[in-house]
Amino acid sequence: MKTLIIVESKHCGSTRKVAEAMAAALPGTIVTDTKGAKSYDLHDFDLVGFGSGIYAGGFDKRIVKLVNSLDDESANTFVFSTSGGDDTHYNQLLITSLEAKNKTVAGDFSCLGLNKFFLLRLIGGLNKDCPTEKDLKEAGDFLCRIAK
């Protein structure tokens, strides 16, 4: 299965770790950022993932802009994120945008990520060990499961 994972991970790299764990679990998977995604025809892939850290309650603006620019041709997609809190509702915003573009969303994944936003930087951040090895394994298992 040809899989493309598009990820923006601008602060601590937590979401990129998740994307790389997914790619390691499913051979042949390509990981890129939104700039790199422009060199690919998304319709050449069986599955396309969109992910970022959650910043101020939402996905990275570059991921949102990319999803909003997609054509209305059907495609199989998935969504993933990391956030500083334990709330998992953030993915629904991007899922709704993809479905509005006639994309099938095969599933979504989220886990905690290192959070060094603003004053948290002074104490070294929250969730210092996140994503954990268990989170990364679960991310890989998630991609393998939805790729079947």
User: Sign of dihedral through CA atoms 54, 68, 72, 70?
Assistant: negative
Residue pair 74/43 in contact (Cβ under 8 Å)? The answer is no
Neighbours of 102 (CB within 10 A): 12
Task: List alpha helices for the chain, DSSP H.
Answer: 14-25, 34-37, 61-69, 91-100, 133-147
Q: Is 107 helix (H, G, I), strand (E, B) or coil?
A: strand
pTM, entire model: 0.90
pLDDT at 92: 95
CA distance 111 to 80: 9
Question: Residue 60 is which amino acid?
Answer: D
pLDDT at 55: 79
How open is the CA angle 140-117-49, to the nearest 5 degrees?
30
pLDDT at 75: 97
pLDDT at 123: 47
Residue pair 50/66 in contact (Cβ under 8 Å)? The answer is yes
Q: Provide the residue-wise pLDDT of the chain in tens; the chain has 148 residues.
A: 899 999 998 765 689 999 999 999 999 999 999 999 999 999 999 999 999 988 778 899 999 999 999 999 999 999 999 976 666 689 999 999 999 999 999 999 999 775 545 444 444 445 566 589 999 999 999 999 999 8
pLDDT at 19: 97
Q: Using alpha carbons only, how large is the chain's radius of gyration in Å?
A: 14
Preceding omega of 27 cis (within 30 degrees of 0): no
Neighbours of 1 (CB within 10 A): 15
pLDDT at 122: 46
